[in-house]
């Protein structure tokens, strides 16, 4: 009896790790807004503070009463909306970058110290961190901003005081895992002190997570600053700020929709771009999260 060998199906090709493509659109949006913020004096079509009641509530250029002198229209005081959005990008991006850097530096330092020393030091620092995390973010930021007074510097400090706890908790968790590895024990046997172990061994191994978290937090800070400005506790007028521009136009949404729409659109684009970039960095820098 002869046996007939059945043809074997081709084995599926091995599938290796597949990385997400570079978020070109998000990077382009971020680069565009950063360029606009840096070159605001050159790109602004007019003075963002110049008022003209005769030109108040002029619609965008594509509507009936629109004009190229004010492509996106004017607000209730006749100020050019495009010029104020251009200058407002400076405020939003500067607040986002400075607050994230300040909060990230403070939180990373607390997390590194707490994770390395452990014991009472860890317990004390983490109880302060938990207490900070337990407060509603907007309420605490509002209280701090109102207490110290609305200004650019105070808004940055108020937001950093709130956000540092998130970095501290994440970094501390990573440090606790690193402290169980052999290279830390070898560094101690070799006579390395606490400062050298923290700066040469622990900090570099937490930078990837720290960079991803900071990138994701930029968009969150921009929304937080806009919320404070919307509530009157952020950047004081007449400084152009996207949140305060939305607040100025909320009473005229039905008759002058562009006053609130275009600053809101700017916030949407920037925050979405930073979030997509943060997701890409997370998948790229953390092998465990790479899509297969």
Neighbours of 53 (CB within 10 A): 9
CA nearest to 207, candidates 105, 277, 95, 89: 105
For residue 34, what pLDDT band results from cuts at 50, 70 and 90?
A: very high
The pLDDT value given to residue 286? 67
Model pTM score: 0.83
The pLDDT value given to residue 289? 53
For residue 86, what pLDDT band results from cuts at 50, 70 and 90?
A: very high
The pLDDT value given to residue 3? 46
Parse the chain into domains and list their residue ranges.
90-289
Q: Each residue of 104-161: pLDDT tens digit?
A: 999 999 999 999 888 899 899 999 998 888 888 778 777 877 777 778 888 888 888 8
How many angstroms separate the CA atoms of 247 and 252, rounded? 10
Q: What is the mean pLDDT of the chain?
A: 84
Over 50: is that where the pLDDT of 5 sits?
no
How many angstroms separate the CA atoms of 120 and 171, rounded? 18
For residue 1, what pLDDT band results from cuts at 50, 70 and 90?
A: very low
CA angle 100, 103, 106 (to 5 degrees): 145
Over 50: is that where the pLDDT of 23 sits?
yes
% of the chain residues with pLDDT over 90 = 31
**Going by CATH, does the domain composed of 90-289 fall within 1.10.3720.10?**
yes
Structure tokens at 66: 């629109």
């Amino acid at each position: 009896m002869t046996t007939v060998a059945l043809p074997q199906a081709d084995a599926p090709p091995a599938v290796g790790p597949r990385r997400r493509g570079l978020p070109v659109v998000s990077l382009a949006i971020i680069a565009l807004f950063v360029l606009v913020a840096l070159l605001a004096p050159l790109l602004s079509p007019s003075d963002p503070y110049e008022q003209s009641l005769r030109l108040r509530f002029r619609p965008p250029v594509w509507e009936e009463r629109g004009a190229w002198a004010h492509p996106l229209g004017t607000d209730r005081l006749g100020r050019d909306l495009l010029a104020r959005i251009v200058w407002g990008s400076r405020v939003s991006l500067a607040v986002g970058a400075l607050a994230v850097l300040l909060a990230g530096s403070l939180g990373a330092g607390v997390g590194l110290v707490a994770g390395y020393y452990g014991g009472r030091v860890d317990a004390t620092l983490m109880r302060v961190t938990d207490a900070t995390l337990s407060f509603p973010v907007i309420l605490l930021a509002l209280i701090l901003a109102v207490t110290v007074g609305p200004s650019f510097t105070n808004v940055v400090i108020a937001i950093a005081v709130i956000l540092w706890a998130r970095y501290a908790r994440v970094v501390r968790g990573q440090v606790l895992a690193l402290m169980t590895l052999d290279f830390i024990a070898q560094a101690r046997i070799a006579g390395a002190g606490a400062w050298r172990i923290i700066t040469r061994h622990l900090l570099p191994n937490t930078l990837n997570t720290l960079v991803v978290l900071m990138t994701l937090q930029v968009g969150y800070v921009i929304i937080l600053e806009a919320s404070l400005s919307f509530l009157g506790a952020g950047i004081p007028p007449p400084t152009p700020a996207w949140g305060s521009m939305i607040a100025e136009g909320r009473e005229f949404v039905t008759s002058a929709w562009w006053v609130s729409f275009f600053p809101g659109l700017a916030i949407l684009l920037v925050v979405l771009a930073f979030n997509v970039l943060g997701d890409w960095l997370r998948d790229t820098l953390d092998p465990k999260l790479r899509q297969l």
